[in-house]
A and B are shown apart, each in its own frame.
Chain A
Amino acid sequence: NAGVTQTPKFQVLKTGQSMTLQCAQDMNHEYMSWYRQDPGMGLRLIHYSVGAGITDQGEVPNGYNVSRSTTEDFPLRLLSAAPSQTSVYFCASSRTRALSSGNTIYFGEGSWLTVV
């Protein structure tokens, strides 16, 4: 009963390094998304995808890249890490994109990223 699986759970990067946060779901969900959580700011949407081959930007997309080559996987790439990207990252998925109908969103356990 894996649900949404994120790796790694913790990572320290140096400024300018690149890395990929992995996200996989085993529920055959169409919709996947990445959020970052910062103190006093709640969760903010970075990128989302409504199906394989389709991605779109959220509120705070700069500095991040995504792709959706399969239904199961939705990796988040930091191209050149900056201290401002120190945050907790959450991947989430939902059966369909129709979140406004009350579709449940399932979250991964989070990835704590520190950029020094």
Chain B
Amino acid sequence: GNSVTQMEGPVTLSEEAFLTINCTYTATGYPSLFWYVQYPGEGLQLLLKATKADDKGSNKGFEATYRKETTSFHLEKGSVQVSDSAVYFCALTGTASKLTFGTGTRLQVTL
């Protein structure tokens, strides 16, 4: 079946540092890939998505590129802020009606 593997957290960075959160996946066919963000006490919000190989999703300074050859969708940001502290989930859809999530990576950004 489909699966998503994310790097273990928590990730602690100083403000303005470069962020990478690794995500790799296993899926049949051609899944769409997503990053969701969950701020403390809130639900999940879509951060960015990519629906085909080599697509780059971007939003709020975050980027991720759909790499079919390495089955990866790593999240990056050039300069993180304290307000980026949250839990980040990588996810994919393979079958029409199911979203498969990774376990989440907690990011803590300090001044």
Contact = CB atoms under 8 A, between A and B. Distances in A.
Interface of A: 4, 31, 33, 35, 40-45, 48, 50, 56, 58, 90, 92, 97-102, 104-105, 107-110
B32 A40 contact: no
Interface residues of B, number: 26
Contact of A110 (B36, B42, B50, B96): B42
Interface of B: 4, 30-32, 36, 41-46, 49-51, 89, 93-99, 101-104
A100 B94 contact: yes
Contacts, number: 66
Contacts of A44: 101
A99 B99 contact: yes
A97 B96 contact: yes
Given A100-B31, A105-B46, A41 B99 contact: no
A50 B95 CA distance: 13
Chain A CB within 10 Å, residue with most, of B42, B49, B51, B97: B97
